[in-house]
Structure 1
Amino acid sequence: MEKGSGESSISQSVLELIVYGAVHNMHITRTKVLKLLYLVDLRAVDEGLTCRSGIDWEWYNYGPFDRAVLAVEDTLVQVGAVVKERRQSASGTEYFELVPAPQFQPRQPGTFGLDRRYYDLLVSVMDAYGHLTAKQLGDFAYKTPPMLLAQDDDGARGVKLDMSLGLAGDRRTSRDKLRGLRRLRTRRQAVRGQQDEGDLSQLRDEVAAVASARRAATRTLVGSDEQGA
């Protein structure tokens, strides 16, 4: 599975997570699927891997989210790969647990086509956080660097999360990035309001402001090409 492989990548990741959870007696809900895969993707960034879940993360109502994950889960249920079982919490609240369909339950994890390094990260995240409740995972997700940065940026839900910060991101670096993005946004808004080309002397400053991001993107692309060679 390579970065950007889309819905098939999400399907593999979701199914692998659900099977691993069932084998290790973890209660998996769709909320937990989202939060756990978000943490796996952040770990992948920390490890410098190009493989991801394929999810396009944004800050929605309750943290990291992508509607594509819900669509994939629904499809897995429709084709009979996953079953939604009704459960009741200690407080009496009903919820649905996602479990592998009977034909998959004897099947061992690690057999659905995930990149092996990415699968190993999924296992490490599941072992560390899989037994947490959905609320506990949500609280933890809000403290991760991409979510902290999104909350600092005027608290606007619906923004894309900067996954490049990883799970072990530097808080200072996050704030520096935010300030730089705000400066660029302010300059671009001013330029859009001009009736002529204006003062072009700031163009050099803007190019310099995104130089580090361009270098990081180039390293990622070069590394990906070398791995595929």
Structure 2
Amino acid sequence: MRILVIEDDLRGRQFLARGLVENGHIVDTVDDGAIGLALAREGIYDVIVTDRLLPVLDGLEMVRQLRTGQNATPVMMLSAVGGLHERVEGLRVGCDDYLVKPYAFAELLARIEAIVRRGDRSRQSTVLHCADLSLDLRSRVATRAGRDLNLQHREFLMLECLVRRRGQVVTRSMLLETAWNYDFEPRGNIIDMHIHRLRVKVDRDFATALIHTVTGAGYLIQAPA
């Protein structure tokens, strides 16, 4: 998953980010609610983990504005303020869960996974298709004509980005933001290298290529006419 962490306490932010990364997730971190809201509105996150008491824009107001804008990204709120009134208030503004500090990381991780599963069940489909290519978003398995493509984590994320926008040009910057966090400094032609590996797995052993280069613009995936 790609996770946005909004936490103004440096040690708490680093602890949380490190644990999530060690569990295989891509994590972006910010330390105030206004920047967090701007990033959340981009719609690229699977889940948002936010503190309640934040500078510039507090967590409650950040979630309220996010929901007002019809953004349904699951939100886990963390807070040292854990009375019944505060928990109910957090849930009513639009949080999907509310966890009181201090917390056990294992519980936090389990709760994040639970709210994301609930969100998945509310979607019409968890499988994306393009011609004979299928991506199962729950199992994170990609197949073509029934054959498992054995994609690595970043390859799956990039292919998902392409398939979600099938028939549309996807820029290198969009692919970079999809599979790496904002702190990553790309070197050389890293996107082109990963696209090459994707093509080997997705297209090489099949009669029809699905992934195409749009010179000067980026890449697209589309089913044959």
Same fold (TM over 0.5): no
User: Normalising to structure 2: TM-score of the pair?
Assistant: 0.24
The structure with the greater share of residues assigned to helix is 1
Higher relative contact order (CA 8 A, sep 6+): 1
Decide which structure has the larger Cα Rg and report it.
Answer: 1
User: Normalising to structure 1: TM-score of the pair?
Assistant: 0.24
The structure with the greater share of residues assigned to strand is 2
